[in-house]
Structure 1
Amino acid sequence: MKVLKFGGAIVGSAEHLKKVKSIVEAEKNPIVVVSAMDGVTDLLEEIVEEASTGDSKSIISRYEDLKTRHTELARQVVPADSQSAALSELNRLYAEMDSMLQALTIFRDWTDNILATFLSYGERLVSVIVGEMIGARVLDSTRFIIAEGDADCGYSIDEETTTEKIKAAFSKIKGAVVCQGFIAGTNDDEIATLGRGSSDLTAAYIAKVLGAQEMQVWKPNDEFMSADPKKITSAYLIEHMSYEEARELSINGVGTLFSDALTPLAEAKIPLSMKNICNGNTTMISAVSNPEDKVIKGIASQDDCVMYTFSGIPSDYLPRMVSESAMVLESDHVPYTVFSLSAAGGSFSVCIPVEYEGYFNNLSQSLTSMNACKVQTMRDLASVVIVGENMKNATGTAGKLFNALGRNNINIVAMNQGSSETSITVVLEKKNIKKALNAIHESFFLTEYQELNIFVVGTGTVGGSLLEQLHSQKELIMNQNGVKLNVMGVADVSKFILDRNGVDLTRYNELLKTEGKESTPESLKKALFELNAFNCVFVDCTAAPAIAAMYLDLLQHNISVVCANKIAASGDYDNYINLKNTARKRGIKYLFETNVGAGLPIINTIGDLIYSGDRIVKLEAVLSGTLNFIFNTISEEIPLSKAIKMAMEARFAEPDPRIDLSGKDVIRKLVILARESGLKVSQEDVEKNLFIPDDFFEGTLDDFWAKVEKFDAEFEEKRKVIAAEGKRWRFVATLDEGKTKVGLQAVDSRHPFYDLEGSNNLIIINTARYKDPMMIRGYGAGAAVTAAGVFADIISIANIR
């Protein structure tokens, strides 16, 4: 035999009730427990309160509508041959309600028993409809569910009497039975209610006493998810958990299961199935959790909490105050957590959801006046609870939780581990709740993929190519590497767009024009900090000093930085060190692989050598793809000025080629390599041997072109001299025993630089371990390869390389 409980959202829907009929008919002699329709209990209570004022006019329309809803539902779901009986019984109950309301309006007073009796009609009306629909006998739950206590302190089930009466009531009944949840009788033959949501408790006691094979609770949704699906799109159904895990999640706001119902089920070891009537999804709750399951089974959260901290309490009173607080909150089914119990300091804290604040205010005043202690209130908080029985046997769970929060710059206000070792609760600022849930859920659950929330600044040649690659490779990266790339923001020189769910990369230029907001360093930071996304990555594809100046603020807010911009890594040395140290301390990334060699793995390789204890002895490199292209192109037919223009046409050179020709770009790259090798080097320390006269860099760009064309003949004469010697020019950066220099060198055919083609880069590294040099060679310029290098840095943040 099974006990099937159907909640208010199901019994109020004709569509759902037709499914209920099929479900019941598929079982052998089930016991069906029903709730009132959603909202009906609240409405009945309002009707009693308003009727007792003598004003019946204000409630007539709502009261008549309530009766009509039940009558129409009966006509829709009850078979034709049973409708007369169903409507007759409904009318009988309506008449009883009419009489009670008339008396309330006249006498303008009501007792707890009168209120409970009137509220009981919500369940009674539904039980008539369901009973006639499935052709089952309807039993009055007040005859066998017996409550003890009173309305002021709350009713609980009298277990001994209830057990006897359930056995007696069901002993001679054959076939399906329908009874009401929520309502009970008392030993004084009055009617009581067991609290909102307590229909689950009624069903659980019946299941326990009669030794049911299983209890089922049917809902129109998936009740137990790994996290709130409204906040975590990747939340999934929990298929199995223990009674203790279900209790912890329920009391902390997950689903609508009445947590007290788990106690009788656990005592009798009766499994509970939480079922979705729309899709058949099931969460099975039983005595044990699978030890092979994840350490954490689910995450509960409360979005708006208040925390009271009581201090200055005499040590003799402290246990009593804590106990009294817990007792009051538990009796009202208020989810709460006690934090920071300190006997030495005479203090403790209690955190509750704001909507339950009224339950605690009177108690708080009583405690403070009785014991002359002080109370401090903190608002705008939220709580997160991770739940899992396997925590008992796993090490590092709390550390993993704190790391996930810390990595995303989320401060913990208070924390507590439950005495059963199946839960850890943290309190944090309300503004961080969604970010925290995403970070925790990904850390504990997302084995299939990791999400990165990306903001790209710069839509020029490199930035545009990167956005194209992110769009075209998104699905492949997800399937191949398990990384979800969510480009949530794009900015150009004047506008930015931001969408937490992802920017449409097929039309970002259009969106920037039509929906873009003003793009400044301050507006970008403000937008990012307010969005407060988890696993956030800021990508700089500009050459702007103002954007580079943002990095420290971003890192201090736990936003990783990936940049093609060389300014920060080659600029002020103290700032460079501060950026790297800030990223390391916060467990995030500051990556700039493309600062040298575009997509070539130069910086990472040097880093790996240094981290492994090696030492860079000498480094020689051709680091400018633009200059290498120019020197490979110059010939008797192609003078210097034309080669420079060809480099610009091939998009190797900057719009102002003087940036490349001045050697500044190579100097910056050499400084970065020297710093990554462990040296304290600045641009001023680099010895320069340039091939363009200094005065060429003065004046306008037109002035430069006029001068360089006059320089063509002189430069060609020099080229012919080295060509006759079998040599070629290369612009070389050198690091040798701590000394740095850049300049034009003539190399012969024995040198590795001699055959360097096109815009290729080549770096030669001698280390204490590598006596024979290590060489890294490949394209060192171009939007596509630079964007690919930036892309690789982004992917590396997900720790897959």
Structure 2
Amino acid sequence: MKVLKFGGTSVANAINIKKVASIVFKDQPEKLIVVVSAFSGVTDLLLKASSFASTGDYQYKEIHQGIEKAHLYCIKELVALQKQSAVLSEIKQLCNELEELLDGIYKLQELSPKTRDKVVSFGELMSSRIIAAYFSDLSAEAAWVDSRELIKTDSKFGYANVLKSFTDENIALYFKAAKARVFVAPGFIASNSNGNTTTLGRGGSDYTAAIFASALKVKSLEIWTDVSGMMTADPRVVTNAKPIAYLTYKEAMELSHFGAKVIYPPTIQPVMDLEIPTAIKNTFKPEDAGTLLLSDYSNGSDRIKGISSINKVAILTLEGSGMVGIPGFSKLLFEALANDHINVILITQSSSEHSITVAINEHDSLRAKVAIDSVFDNYIEKGIIYPVEIESDMAIIAVVGDKMKSMPGTSGLMFSTLGKNGINIRAIAQGSSERNISAVISNADIKKAVNVLHEVFFEASKKQLNIFVSGVGNVGKKLLQQISRQKQYLADKHNVQLNVIGVANSRKMLVKPIGILENDFEKELGEYGHTSDVEKFTDEIIALNLRNSVFIDCTAHAEVARTYAKLIKKSVSVVACNKIAASAGYWEYLELKHLSNIYNAPFLFETNVGAALPIIGTLNDLIKTGDVVNKIQAVLSGTLNFVFNNYDGTKPFSEVVRQAQAEGFTEPDPRLDLGGTDVMRKILILAREAGYALNMEDIDNNGFLPASCFDGSVEDFYKEMSIQEAHFKAIYDKAAANGCKLKFVATFDNGKANVGLQEIPENHDLYNLFGKDNIVLFYTNRYPEQPLVIKGAGAGADVTASGVFADMMRVASH
């Protein structure tokens, strides 16, 4: 014999019930007991109708009519016309009984647990009667069984306890004499010794099936639902959740207790005692393997089998010096909760015995506080215990697996993963069985937490990076193109999945959680984007709270740079092409570095100096390994190098600068480059990264532009350069006469920095520097005479974008 249970969604309508029939009557030669739930949503409607009736709200009538109409319609869809009369009459009679019961509740305006159980029983009674009639139409060997006559309980209405020995005897005797091959039984309902209807708690249809399976010692139990077994996480939260092929009963109980809704926890106990294999299958995909629950299994080596969670939790903390070394406090605490029928989900106590913390359902928190404070009232008055503290809006996340106990490092990996993503842990509990590690976190972090843990334990081969790009002009656009080209390669070869979630320019911004197509971002931004607002863009990133989030700043705006601290504090990594933050006041720079360490969110800005050249990274490696930088000499402006490599007096200086801007080598305002401000920022950043506390005002700027060039707009600047052509020609001619080239050089030496135009002789390291190239010479304790030289292209949208991309990949490997 075999027991099959079908849940509410499996029997939601006539179409689904026909799917159920195809499973029941397909190659099943042995006797079957088919336990069914109420039609999907009906139990909730019955509870709502009874509640309305008890408060004198006439809406219960409408709900009743809707329930009756749905069931009568289903009969007409399923049962042959000539056989409909009997079942229609039966269901109509049940609907009339239900109506009379609701009318009585309405008149009395009272709803006892006993009456509520009677009301909700109609859902399973009607669904099972209809399905039994349909099965009888398909096969003469089908019969209906009244579970109330077989399953006997105490009188704890709403959550009755089964009288096991009496129930087992009833079931065994009944099925020994019964002649049918397929029996349809209502789940969820039973009766007490007086014949009053009781219920087994929400999800009790699973329990009903397990009771039948245990009493008859069947060869297997099948729970048919709307998912293909238990999953490694809730698929509504984790898109990459995977079905679990095998679970022990105890693993399944842990996952069920912590929110996995596929199976009802008490279901497992009767079948676990007799080691009856239990399969969880999908009614709508019967060919899927599903999950098999066993007493033990040798298949697989995963230390973690699943991740589950409970939302809307509150934690209560009782603390005080009066608890230390005094027995009985825990007993009083739990007695207070038990006497008020408040369920404890999690317990943790400090080794000092100074405090004890419990987690309960949030809606019970105020009632629990009143109950506990009243028990400890005398101690609170004496000041040796404090009133209970409540923290609401919390959640519990749990990782479950029998093999954790034989594989060290699981809890460390769990907590470090949460920490790296800025998820604060308020309480921790690990059972002595080491089958479950639970943590209390903020309810707002639960989706992020489940996803990051799932990624670490089940998707080690793929790390997801969620990207937000501010500034999609020259560099930002090139970056998105590079991401598009490399996306598949990185997924296949480096196991990194890149998702562009948000983009913004000075006019519009768009945040799209399902992802933005990199090659189509301009169209999407134009069609769906909202008016750009830096603060709102930042707030949306934080509100999404996605794991492994990276904010990329390809702008040159101070307003954008000011958002870094806010983002880093939420564990959003920042990759900055923008030099403003790293060259701001020294303490502001230091604060960002400090926050990056505290919140474990990288703050990377390699492209601030030398575009994609590995200048800052190399400098960081020198410092980390104990070297000391004594002197830096560098040409750090690709723009200025391009300009002075192309200016020979044959065409105006202003035209060469225009060419540099047209080719994307300059800032939007070229005066930032030509005036030396940009180079000052770069040498400042290098000095700071070398460990020196400098500010912009500490740097001497020996500029070459006449003061009049800084007046007015960018166009005014170009006009003034034309007027000042003789000035530029004179500078060039002097250098040429000395056999030198002009280079705008940044120098840091003995704690002092300066920038300025210099004549570089032929034998100097800086002489042979062509095009837009940059060069940096590091003189250190290890490189005292022959410097460490880094040289290459230091400007251009493509190379700068590639440097940003490289920083982004450093975040991925962090």
Q: Could you say which residue in structure 2 is the equivalent of 1:206? A: 212
| Contact 1:226–1:236 (CA under 8 A) maintained in structure 2 | yes
Q: Using the alignment, how far apart are the partners of 1:790 and 1:290 within structure 2?
A: 47
TM-superposed CA distance for 1:210, in Å, is 2.5
Q: Could you say which residue in structure 1 is the equivalent of 2:17? A: 17
Q: Using the alignment, how far apart are the partners of 1:184 and 1:365 within structure 2?
A: 35
Instruction: Select between 257-266 and 182-191 the one with higher mean Cα deviation.
Output: 182-191
| Contact 1:90–1:125 (CA under 8 A) maintained in structure 2 | no
Give the direction of change, closer, same or farther, for the CA distance of 1:323–1:701 in structure 2 (3 Å limit): same
| Contact 2:337–2:371 (CA under 8 A) maintained in structure 1 | no
SS of match in other structure, 1:496:
strand
Q: Could you say which residue in structure 1 is the equivalent of 2:383? A: none
SS of match in other structure, 2:160:
strand
1:267-311 per-position Cα deviation (integer Å, ceiling 9, x unaligned): 111222211111234122222366854433333333323334456
Q: Using the alignment, how far apart are the partners of 1:178 and 1:646 within structure 2?
A: 84
TM-superposed CA distance for 1:641, in Å, is 3.9
Q: Could you say which residue in structure 2 is the equivalent of 1:33? A: 35
Q: 1:720 aligns with which of 736, 739, 759?
A: 736
Q: Using the alignment, how far apart are the partners of 1:654 and 1:510 within structure 2?
A: 26
Q: 1:337 aligns with which of 336, 346, 360?
A: 346
Give the direction of change, closer, same or farther, for the CA distance of 1:702–1:87 in structure 2 (3 Å limit): same
Q: Could you say which residue in structure 2 is the equivalent of 1:169? A: 174
Q: Using the alignment, how far apart are the partners of 1:678 and 1:537 within structure 2?
A: 26
TM-superposed CA distance for 1:479, in Å, is 3.6
Q: Using the alignment, how far apart are the partners of 2:696 and 2:100 within structure 1?
A: 93
Q: Using the alignment, how far apart are the partners of 2:516 and 2:160 within structure 1?
A: 54
Q: 1:300 aligns with which of 308, 312, 333?
A: 308
Q: 1:259 aligns with which of 252, 258, 265?
A: 265
AA in 2 matched with 1:779: A
TM-superposed CA distance for 1:244, in Å, is 2.0
TM-superposed CA distance for 1:715, in Å, is 3.2
1:589-623 per-position Cα deviation (integer Å, ceiling 9, x unaligned): 11110011111111112212222233345544322
Q: Could you say which residue in structure 1 is the equivalent of 2:397? A: 384
| Contact 2:158–2:201 (CA under 8 A) maintained in structure 1 | no
AA in 1 matched with 2:416: N
SS of match in other structure, 1:427:
strand
Q: Could you say which residue in structure 2 is the equivalent of 1:780? A: 794
Q: Could you say which residue in structure 1 is the equivalent of 2:773? A: 760
| Contact 1:89–1:128 (CA under 8 A) maintained in structure 2 | yes
| Contact 1:560–1:590 (CA under 8 A) maintained in structure 2 | yes
Q: Could you say which residue in structure 2 is the equivalent of 1:791? A: 805
| Contact 1:214–1:270 (CA under 8 A) maintained in structure 2 | yes
SS of match in other structure, 2:672:
helix
Residue 254 of structure 2 is aligned to residue 232 of structure 1? no
Q: Using the alignment, how far apart are the partners of 2:190 and 2:129 within structure 1?
A: 17
| Contact 1:322–1:348 (CA under 8 A) maintained in structure 2 | no
1:385-415 per-position Cα deviation (integer Å, ceiling 9, x unaligned): 3333333233343333333333333333333
Residue 730 of structure 2 is aligned to residue 711 of structure 1? no
Give the direction of change, closer, same or farther, for the CA distance of 1:575–1:256 in structure 2 (3 Å limit): same
Give the direction of change, closer, same or farther, for the CA distance of 1:656–1:188 in structure 2 (3 Å limit): closer
Q: Using the alignment, how far apart are the partners of 2:691 and 2:115 within structure 1?
A: 83
1:144-180 per-position Cα deviation (integer Å, ceiling 9, x unaligned): 3222x21358421122222222222223556333323
Q: Using the alignment, how far apart are the partners of 2:710 and 2:68 within structure 1?
A: 90
Q: Could you say which residue in structure 2 is the equivalent of 1:123? A: 124
SS of match in other structure, 2:123:
helix
Q: Using the alignment, how far apart are the partners of 2:253 and 2:549 within structure 1?
A: 34
- Identity across matched positions, percent: 36
| Contact 2:155–2:192 (CA under 8 A) maintained in structure 1 | no
TM-score norm. by structure 1 comes to: 0.87
Q: 2:332 aligns with which of 297, 309, 321?
A: 321
AA in 2 matched with 1:146: K
Gaps of 5+ in 1: none
Instruction: Select between 506-515 and 123-132 the one with higher mean Cα deviation.
Output: 506-515
| Contact 1:295–1:391 (CA under 8 A) maintained in structure 2 | yes
Residue 712 of structure 2 is aligned to residue 701 of structure 1? no
Q: 1:88 aligns with which of 86, 89, 100?
A: 86
Gaps of 5+ in 2: 381-386
| Contact 1:51–1:101 (CA under 8 A) maintained in structure 2 | no
Q: Could you say which residue in structure 1 is the equivalent of 2:8? A: 8
SS of match in other structure, 1:156:
coil
Q: Could you say which residue in structure 2 is the equivalent of 1:447? A: 460
TM-superposed CA distance for 1:5, in Å, is 0.5
TM-superposed CA distance for 1:4, in Å, is 0.7
AA in 1 matched with 2:168: T
Give the direction of change, closer, same or farther, for the CA distance of 1:75–1:762 in structure 2 (3 Å limit): same
Superposed, which structure 2 residues align to 1:341-740 within 5 Å? 344-345=353-354, 348-354=356-362, 357=364, 365-372=370-377, 374-503=387-516, 505=518, 508-509=521-522, 519=532, 522-616=535-629, 618-635=631-648, 637-686=650-699, 688=701, 690-692=703-705, 697=710, 701-702=717-718, 704-722=720-738, 725=739, 727-736=740-749, 738=751, 740=753
Instruction: Select between 115-124 and 440-449 the one with higher mean Cα deviation.
Output: 115-124
Q: Using the alignment, how far apart are the partners of 2:448 and 2:256 within structure 1?
A: 22
Q: Using the alignment, how far apart are the partners of 1:720 and 1:47 within structure 2?
A: 96
Q: Using the alignment, how far apart are the partners of 2:69 and 2:507 within structure 1?
A: 61
Q: Could you say which residue in structure 1 is the equivalent of 2:188? A: 182
Q: Using the alignment, how far apart are the partners of 1:125 and 1:541 within structure 2?
A: 64
User: How many residue pairs get matched?
Assistant: 786
Q: Using the alignment, how far apart are the partners of 2:11 and 2:468 within structure 1?
A: 48
TM-superposed CA distance for 1:99, in Å, is 6.0
Q: Using the alignment, how far apart are the partners of 1:539 and 1:390 within structure 2?
A: 40
TM-superposed CA distance for 1:434, in Å, is 3.1
Q: Using the alignment, how far apart are the partners of 1:106 and 1:296 within structure 2?
A: 52
AA in 2 matched with 1:324: E
| Contact 2:151–2:190 (CA under 8 A) maintained in structure 1 | yes
Give the direction of change, closer, same or farther, for the CA distance of 1:48–1:637 in structure 2 (3 Å limit): closer
Question: Superposition RMSD on alpha carbons, in Å?
Answer: 3.7
1:656-691 per-position Cα deviation (integer Å, ceiling 9, x unaligned): 433222333223222222322333344444455555
| Contact 1:641–1:708 (CA under 8 A) maintained in structure 2 | no
Q: Using the alignment, how far apart are the partners of 1:567 and 1:111 within structure 2?
A: 68
1:542-576 per-position Cα deviation (integer Å, ceiling 9, x unaligned): 22233333333332332222111222223322322
Residue 164 of structure 2 is aligned to residue 159 of structure 1? yes
SS of match in other structure, 1:797:
helix
AA in 2 matched with 1:167: A
TM-superposed CA distance for 1:259, in Å, is 0.6
Q: Using the alignment, how far apart are the partners of 2:350 and 2:704 within structure 1?
A: 74
Give the direction of change, closer, same or farther, for the CA distance of 1:599–1:91 in structure 2 (3 Å limit): same
Q: Using the alignment, how far apart are the partners of 1:636 and 1:66 within structure 2?
A: 92
